[in-house]
Amino acid sequence: MIAKTFGGLSAPYYFRHFLFGMIFPVGMFLIGSNDGTPSIPTDKYLFFALSTLLYPYSRFVYESIIDFILGNNTFVVNAFFMLITKAVTIMLCWLLAIFIAPVGLAYLFYHHSKAGDREQQE
């Protein structure tokens, strides 16, 4: 079950989005530390860790929905606008990862269970 859910994303995809997800806890730690002493309450570290670990699955859900809506269309927009939009979506996916990621994990479990069933039938 764990391999079908948490192992459902490719390693390069997970690692890439994990690094993007690290931007927020590192940034908050740097902003929240005075003279090297963190002023962030320790209970927030659990939220930071969970959001960062679940962010790739949250982003997977977001990208799947956007791919479904946009299809193969390409939009030409201002680069600054695109960067701001990208930063906002990354932040929202990270902040809401605890709520969005279970949808992605459930889909990955379903998808890999179906793929396993097909392989067993052949």
Does pLDDT of 12 surpass 70?
A: yes
**Domain containing residue 26:** 2-121
Tokens encoding 90? 């990354």
8 Å CB contact between 18 and 118:
no
Percent of the chain with pLDDT over 90: 30
- For residues 90-96, average pLDDT: 94
Entry field: residues in the chain:
122
- For residues 84-96, average pLDDT: 94
Write the CA distances from 104 to 8, 59, 79, 100, 118, integer angstroms.
10, 9, 29, 7, 21
Domain count of the fold of the chain: 1
